[in-house]
Amino acid sequence: MTSNIKINLLIDKPKYTADLGDNNYRVFTPGESITEQKDFMRGHGTYVENGEIKSSVVGVVKKINKLISVIPMKSKYTGEIGDVVVGRVTEIQKKRWKIDTNSRLDSVLLISSINLPGGELRRRNAEDEQSMRKLLQEEDLLSAEVQNVFVDGSLSLHTRSLKYGKLSQGILVSVSPSLIKRRKTHFHNLPCGVSIIIGNNGYVWVSPTVNVELEGQGGFTQNLEAVSKTDREMIVRIKNCILALSSCYVMIYDTSIMLAYEESLKYEPKDLLNQDIMYEVGFNAKQRLLMVNQ
Amino acid sequence: MNHELISPQGLRIDGRRQNELRQISIKLGVLDRCDGSSFYLHGNTKVIASISGPKHPSKASSKKDENFYFNVRVKFATFSKNGERQKVMKNSKLLGEFELNLKNIFKSVILVEKYEKSQLDLNIEILQTDGGSEICAAVNAATLALIDAGICMREYICACTASLTSDGIPLLDVSHLEEISGGPTLTIAALPRIGDHDQSVSFVELSQKFYLKDLNKIFDCALRGCEKIRAILDEAIRSNANETAISELTDN
């Protein structure tokens, strides 16, 4: 039996990004001095040595008044209050779940910061603590919002809104957190019948759109209805589009995903995994996005 | 073997000058499933380094005395050395020392206080070796991988070797052939800065005895080598940063 195997060499990776220009910002590398002036404050990605502020990562400098920070090209997720995240339960402890959110330390979701089924303002009792596993098990996926950032950098999450909660059927796509654009809304129902949750932590959840009435149940029930083949193909297509965008270093948000989706329509969903096609789709979307933004 | 390490014309066995490095070629971000990776080719030495983390420490690695869990694993491929197929070195003393050295070198340069309570794994795969300077290639490859992963570091850390001919001429970047021809080999890892001359050395290893008067010469030669390597790494990092730049990063 023969099958179609394509092996891609790293050398053949096209350098589409290089000729787009737009290199008018300066890249700082570790150990490089940013300023010797004393009246600046050091932010993330910098350190002070002999009175100089120096960069500790590779990235571009961002100045806010007197605060200098370097934004790295690639890093783990560092949370901010109000961010939408998608995470996976790693551990169940007393009164809390530990959630992997692609950050330096696992986040916590306290039992007091979720909506328990049946009555929002119910007191939490010992029985609830014992039945935590009924709500969320290890390896379950959920969407949540960052409630608080602890001193050590770990996050505290909450799901006190009907839009957050356990995720049932869909695909998780993991991209670099720096590719996610902070926007007003991170929940989108795309016109092609697919819903996406773009977590600020680089986890993107792609799922079939369900009716609003069914969804709003405080979200710890799973909808395990069969998903039709066309829906599944659409989900896979969107997933491959997101991967194409990420391989071309394009910001991921609703507009860019829709542009990539339109570019991908001439191919079968499975063909989008072919590296050449992936780059083509991503690159075309990038160019159209540049035109839209101008 | 009684090779002349340097010919009357001033050329070495492989045709290099006395202060010339072997060819270095670098690729960043070669692996998709880890947080940072690099492929580093130095002469005939080939190394892949990968970083996973910083992440929540796994239970097996949580020792209570440490605040930052930094694990280094080095693996030699069975086909990595000249001649016969090697047995895989596993938990041997030599490998343990290698790993410990790397761990100490990088602990001195990573801004550890930013990664309290978390775990960082550095995996190094040595695919092919040329000379006993695997640790140099491993250090340089790991520096690149750490930078690719966006780990906060004070400086680049670069490693280089130097040797000495019988006439007292220092040789930069020793190859396998030169190493077995019998000169002493000095391996150092340093934090070179372009422009100024303050350099801090974080690792020194010496394979043989030589006269003390030659020490400065050979040390200086190796340090110059580190500076050259730093320039090469810096260039590779910058061109990679420009290629992988996210167009809207600046105005986000």
Domain ranges of chain B: 24-243
What integer is the mean pLDDT of B201-220? Answer: 86
Position A230 scores a pLDDT of 87
B185/chain A closest Cα distance in angstroms: 29
Q: CB neighbours of A235 closer than 8 A, spacing ≥ 6?
A: A170, A171, A194, A206, A207, A208, A227
DSSP for residue B177: H
What integer is the mean pLDDT of A161-189? Answer: 87
Cα–Cα distance between A32 and A12 in angstroms, integer?
32
Cα–Cα distance between B196 and A155 in angstroms, integer?
42
Note whether B11 contacts A: Cβ–Cβ < 8 A.
no
Position A21 scores a pLDDT of 47
Amino acid at A21: G
Instruction: Indicate the residue of B29, B243, B248 with minimum beta-carbon distance to A251.
Output: B248
Position B238 scores a pLDDT of 87
Cα–Cα distance between A133 and A127 in angstroms, integer?
12
pLDDT of B51 over the 80 cut: yes
B242/chain A closest Cα distance in angstroms: 7
Cα–Cα distance between A268 and B200 in angstroms, integer?
56
Instruction: Establish if A39 belongs to a structural domain.
Output: yes
pLDDT of B221 over the 70 cut: yes
Domain count, chain A: 1
- B24-243 is classed CATH 2.60.120.260: no
Which of residues A114 and B193 earns the better pLDDT score? A114
CB-CB neighbors (< 8 A) of B243 in chain A: 15, 17-18
* Predicted confidence (pLDDT) per residue in A99-144, tens digit: 999 988 899 998 888 877 665 566 677 777 788 888 888 888 999 9
Instruction: Establish if A124 belongs to a structural domain.
Output: no
pLDDT of B250 over the 50 cut: no
Stretch among A74-88, A107-121, B33-47, B217-231 having the lowest mean pLDDT: A107-121
CB-CB neighbors (< 8 A) of A138 in chain B: none
Position A227 scores a pLDDT of 80
Mutate to test the interface with A, among B40, B227, B234, B247 (most CBs of A within 10 A): B247
Stretch among A54-63, A256-265, B86-95 having the lowest mean pLDDT: B86-95
* Predicted confidence (pLDDT) per residue in A12-51, tens digit: 666 555 444 455 568 888 888 888 888 888 888 888 888 8
* Predicted confidence (pLDDT) per residue in B60-92, tens digit: 665 655 678 888 999 888 888 776 676 766 678
CATH number at residue A32: 2.40.50.100
Mean pLDDT for chain A overall: 83
**B138 band by pLDDT with thresholds 50, 70 and 90:** very high
Cα–Cα distance between A231 and A225 in angstroms, integer?
12
pLDDT of B110 over the 50 cut: yes
Instruction: Indicate the residue of A47, A49, A249 with minimum beta-carbon distance to B246.
Output: A249
Instruction: Establish if A265 belongs to a structural domain.
Output: no
B219/chain A closest Cα distance in angstroms: 23
Instruction: Establish if A98 belongs to a structural domain.
Output: no
Instruction: Establish if A176 belongs to a structural domain.
Output: no
**B26 band by pLDDT with thresholds 50, 70 and 90:** very high
CB-CB neighbors (< 8 A) of B153 in chain A: 30-31, 56-57
User: Containing domain of residue A65, as a range?
Assistant: 25-72
CB-CB neighbors (< 8 A) of B242 in chain A: 18, 23, 27
Instruction: Indicate the residue of B111, B191, B242 with minimum beta-carbon distance to A47.
Output: B111
Cα–Cα distance between B167 and B10 in angstroms, integer?
12
* Predicted confidence (pLDDT) per residue in B27-50, tens digit: 988 888 888 999 999 988 999 999
Instruction: Establish if A156 belongs to a structural domain.
Output: no
Task: Supply B173's token pair.
Answer: 């970047």
Position A211 scores a pLDDT of 64
| Interface contact B117-A56, CB threshold 8 A | no
Amino acid at A211: N
CB-CB neighbors (< 8 A) of A20 in chain B: 247
Position B252 scores a pLDDT of 41
What integer is the mean pLDDT of B206-216? Answer: 85
pLDDT of B3 over the 80 cut: no
Q: What is the gyration radius of the CA atoms in chain A, in angstroms?
A: 22
Helix, coil or strand: residue A149: strand
Torsion of CA A216, A219, A224, A228, to 10 degrees: 50
CB-CB neighbors (< 8 A) of A56 in chain B: 111, 152-154
**B146 band by pLDDT with thresholds 50, 70 and 90:** very high
Q: How many CB pairs under 8 A join A and B?
A: 114
pLDDT of B174 over the 60 cut: yes
